[in-house]
Amino acid sequence: MSIQNRFQPLLKQREQEHLYRRRPLVFSPQQPIMQINGIECINFSSNDYLGLANHPNIKQALLNSLNTEDDISYGSGAAHLVTGHHLHHHLLEDELADWLGVERTLLFSTGYMANLAVQQTLMQAGDTILADKLNHASLIDGAQLSAATVKRYPHLDMEALERRLKQAQAQNSQVMIVTDGVFSMDGDIAPLKTLQQLAQNYQAWLFVDDAHGIGTLGKQGKGCFEHFGLEPDENTIIVGTLGKAFGTSGAFVAGSETLIETLIQFARPYIYTTAMPQLNALAIREALKLVKNAEASREALQQNIKHFREGALKIGLNLWPSETAIQPIMLGKSETAVAWSEALKQAGFWVGAIRPPTVPKNQARLRVTLSASHTVEQIDQLLQALHNIQTRIGG
């Protein structure tokens, strides 16, 4: 059977079910007003939560490096364990660890790779991974690639999680609790106080993917742990991504000295891949300075969230409960979500339609993401457009 014969019917079926995905083509920097697919629009689909992706300080840091005598190449040239671990990588890892108050951090090229590496490396046959049912795809894949038994608990159901912890304890199985910090499609926050307490009570390891919390939550932007006033212990593993609030790209794992050394020695996604360009590490170092001092931007983001939620509820939108920059408008059917998204594009707004399998069946939605760089006027314009579409199309 040819590739075409096997997959063409599946592609056709996906299109008929309003689940087909197409890549938008961007013609402008990442910012609130953008050129996407030839349309000038206000972008409400970016994870650039603090507006740093096009920040002049980061761009200037790169230009300064390229225009000086510094011996810095674009490509890292090799994996970290060969000759790819350059000075800016090393300094960045130290600076991230100092900022977060952990013993060490380890850089990865993407958050997906970091999430694969942690579970695949740490969890062995006879161990148990207890994962929130709505975890990100990278966490699901990382769990499946490990040798451990994987069990999923209902979303945020701490009673169900504790039952599974008791079962694993009775079987003398080492457990890793795996959860998003901020859930990427719902925008809600994992109850870390309860999760940390359960992990400590049952001698489990706690693994938190804080991709959408790092930079945005907590007084200093340290993420979900700071948001709840918690400190990670020696059995806590945190993944943070750098392509969202930091406005750059890449990711890191944060934790104990033993954790990081174990990943360096045994994590295949770390050992067998080329290190990120050192210019990217330099850009992240500059972004870290901005994130540390972004109290005003974090406050502006919170005000934008509050303003959007109040306006959305006032016009009767089915808004999912979320106190973060991710604000889902639940529409149910995939064709409805696509219709609303297309109508918004015609009105000059870019808001993505999120459909299965990214979200459960009959939970298609618009995923509005807010940034500190959005203005109140832009948010009001979006709300008016949503109200007009609601009146015209329904949902």
pLDDT, one tens digit per residue, over 261-307 is 999 999 999 999 999 999 999 999 999 999 999 999 999 999 999 99
Q: Which residue among the candidates 244, 334, 371, 374 is catalytic per the annotation? A: 244
- Considering the domain architecture, whether residues 149 and 274 belong to the same structural domain is answered as yes
| Segment 86-136, tens digit of pLDDT | 999 999 999 999 999 999 999 999 999 999 999 999 999 999 999 999 999
- Considering the domain architecture, whether residues 66 and 203 belong to the same structural domain is answered as yes
The number of folded domains in the chain is 2
- Please enumerate, by residue number, every residue annotated as part of a binding site for substrate: 21, 136, 358
| Segment 139-163, tens digit of pLDDT | 999 999 999 999 999 999 999 999 9
Q: Which residue among the candidates 80, 88, 212, 222 is catalytic per the annotation? A: 212
- Considering the domain architecture, whether residues 218 and 205 belong to the same structural domain is answered as yes
Task: Return d(Cα 278, Cα 75) in angstroms, integer.
Answer: 7
Catalytic annotation present for 212: yes
Catalytic annotation present for 297: no
| Segment 364-377, tens digit of pLDDT | 999 999 999 999 99
Catalytic annotation present for 333: no
Residue 169 Cα to chain centre, angstroms: 31
Q: Which residue among the candidates 184, 297, 334, 373 is catalytic per the annotation? A: 184
- Considering the domain architecture, whether residues 268 and 318 belong to the same structural domain is answered as no
Domain C-terminal end among 273, 292, 311: 292
Query: Range of 370's domain?
Result: 17-50+295-392
- Please enumerate, by residue number, every residue annotated as part of a binding site: 21, 111-112, 136, 184, 212, 241, 358
- Considering the domain architecture, whether residues 286 and 319 belong to the same structural domain is answered as no
Q: Do residues 365 and 331 make contact, with C-beta atoms less than 8 angstroms apart?
A: yes
Span 67-88, mean pLDDT? 88
What is the pLDDT at residue 67? 81
- Considering the domain architecture, whether residues 128 and 31 belong to the same structural domain is answered as no
Domain C-terminal end among 270, 292, 314: 292
CA nearest 217: which of 199, 194, 238?
A: 238
What is the pLDDT at residue 69? 63
User: What is the percent of the chain with per-residue pLDDT over 90, rounded to a whole number?
Assistant: 86
Residue 340: inside a domain, yes or no? yes
CA nearest 248: which of 286, 301, 220?
A: 286
Residue 395 pLDDT more than 80?
A: no
What is the pLDDT at residue 358? 87
Place of tokens 């795996």: 178
Residue 71 pLDDT more than 80?
A: no
- Considering the domain architecture, whether residues 131 and 93 belong to the same structural domain is answered as yes
Task: Return d(Cα 53, Cα 31) in angstroms, integer.
Answer: 7
- Please enumerate, by residue number, every residue annotated as part of a binding site for pyridoxal 5'-phosphate: 111-112, 184, 212, 241
What is the pLDDT at residue 283? 96
